[in-house]
Structure 1
């Protein structure tokens, strides 16, 4: 038995999209197998999407399974890919996206898909991080970080040059630090000389560096503003996979903009480990 999928990516952050109506008894096992870049299709996650066309604008319910087989509350580039998938199927330029972190609005703007992100917080209880007050420029496991939740937890560190950092060495101790009861993503950023920032992110659930991370780009922008490192709007952020822009709308909520590409379609087999 097989199920069809569509492969999308947002600035290199890539996902298999499977319609939620497809019968997949063990979604986590499928994600672990097919996200593997050697033995599977290869992706940073699997999005299960349910389309509700009776609403105006249409709504899409998004559930993200990561390569470790667990769900994630939110993914900025995943939400943008889900929006593109839904807009292609409804012939619209706007959709609402229901995520585990809240409901978001997404719009097409030229070549970009723009999604309004969830409310962000530095509150230690909501991040969550074991601290009595917001963590700003504090050392955790040898890395000076500021901690924010932009739909998921990020520990953000500003460095002179992201390319000079051995991320696979410095990130895991922070990602698994005891002060993070649910773990954290680890994002590093360096000024690009033009008011923006270069980005690299080690993602929880992927357990490695990804070509792009939308919630990480937003984390860079909001922490940079909080620390007085920029007053730009939009803030240009450059992960390895492309260029993203983080703006702040009239409600003070961040928006994430960037291109989305439909790569190809295919089918995955529901093997016996998935069906067990």
Structure 2
């Protein structure tokens, strides 16, 4: 049995998209584990393996005003993410490809998010939360620019961490140069720290001329991704909390390896995330009976437009 899919990319975050209406995938966790694998997962028309940062199972109500999409993101480890900023932007691009609308409501486990599609895609991200119960934290006070004693003796020892929930929990660490961080060594001790009872994404940021550069180690992916929308918002929110924002611009630029994202963190409303999102190709994927079944193929839907380096991890 196979299922139709499309591959969408949002500033470096790439997703397999499956229309959940009539969806034959019973074991979504196994489907994601097989097809997101970077070594053996979904391939493009040229036969190059790319995998994905997750599988978006989507259900569109085109008759709602505005059109409404129910979004479920299954991550490469089979877990379900409460929210994904770049994923939500890809959802809006997917819905725009199917309707004449430009505004959409996206239902996620973290709540309903409004998205607007024009040359780029912007999505509301909710209000960033620092309260320990909201992150969540195993503490009574917010974790803001604090050193965790439990990280002593690990590669993350001595780093100051700020914890914020931007749809999912993030541990934000400001450093002098994100490129100098050995993220595969430094991030896991923070991601699994006892301070985060449900784990955390770990986002490193360093100041740049127009904002911040960003690298994120994602919980559920268990590795670095080329972009992370909730991470970009976490950087902006933490920078605002710590007084690291300068000037009065409504939008700041946060740049992960996959490209620029724009983030707004207003005083009196939800954060917003803006950036590119587009379809890359489409095809058919086998529905695995278990995690051992692969054999993935894809047909290009955009002519010569193939996956480039911007959509690889």
**Alignment TM-score, normalising by the size of structure 2:** 0.85
Q: Displacement, 1:25?
A: 0.8
Relative to 1, partners in 2 of residues 1:134 and 1:250: Cα closer, same or farther, differing over 3 Å? closer
1:90 maps to what in 2?
A: 99
- How many residues align? The count is 274
Q: Displacement, 1:270?
A: 1.2
Q: How does 1:92-111 map to 2 (within 5 A)?
A: 92-109=101-118, 111=119
Distance, in Å, in 1 between the alignment partners of 2:289 and 2:31 is 10
Root mean square deviation of aligned Cα: 1.5
Distance, in Å, in 2 between the alignment partners of 1:113 and 1:159 is 29
Residue number among 247, 256, 270 corresponding to 1:239 in the alignment: 256
Moved more, 127-136 or 97-106: 127-136
Distance, in Å, in 2 between the alignment partners of 1:250 and 1:105 is 18
1:202 maps to what in 2?
A: 217
Provide the secondary structure at the position in 2 that maps to 1:28: helix
Distance, in Å, in 2 between the alignment partners of 1:233 and 1:170 is 32
Q: Displacement, 1:248?
A: 3.5
Q: Displacement, 1:250?
A: 7.8
2:243 maps to what in 1?
A: 228
Deviation digits for residues 161-209 of structure 1 (CA, Å, limit 9, x no counterpart): 0001111110000000111111000000000133x00000000000000
Moved more, 246-255 or 185-194: 246-255
1:145 maps to what in 2?
A: 161
Deviation digits for residues 134-164 of structure 1 (CA, Å, limit 9, x no counterpart): 1001113222110000000000010000001
8 Å contact 2:250–2:266 — kept in the other structure? no
Q: Displacement, 1:249?
A: 5.2
Moved more, 242-251 or 151-160: 242-251
Distance, in Å, in 2 between the alignment partners of 1:250 and 1:170 is 32
Distance, in Å, in 1 between the alignment partners of 2:267 and 2:67 is 23
Asked if 1:126 corresponds to 2:141, the answer is no
Greater gyration radius:
2
Higher strand proportion: 1
**Alignment TM-score, normalising by the size of structure 1:** 0.96
Asked if 1:3 corresponds to 2:3, the answer is yes
Asked if 1:179 corresponds to 2:195, the answer is yes
2:63 maps to what in 1?
A: 54
Unaligned stretches of 5+ residues in structure 1: none
Unaligned stretches of 5+ residues in structure 2: 43-50, 152-156, 292-313
Q: Displacement, 1:90?
A: 1.0
1:269 maps to what in 2?
A: 286
1:26 maps to what in 2?
A: 27
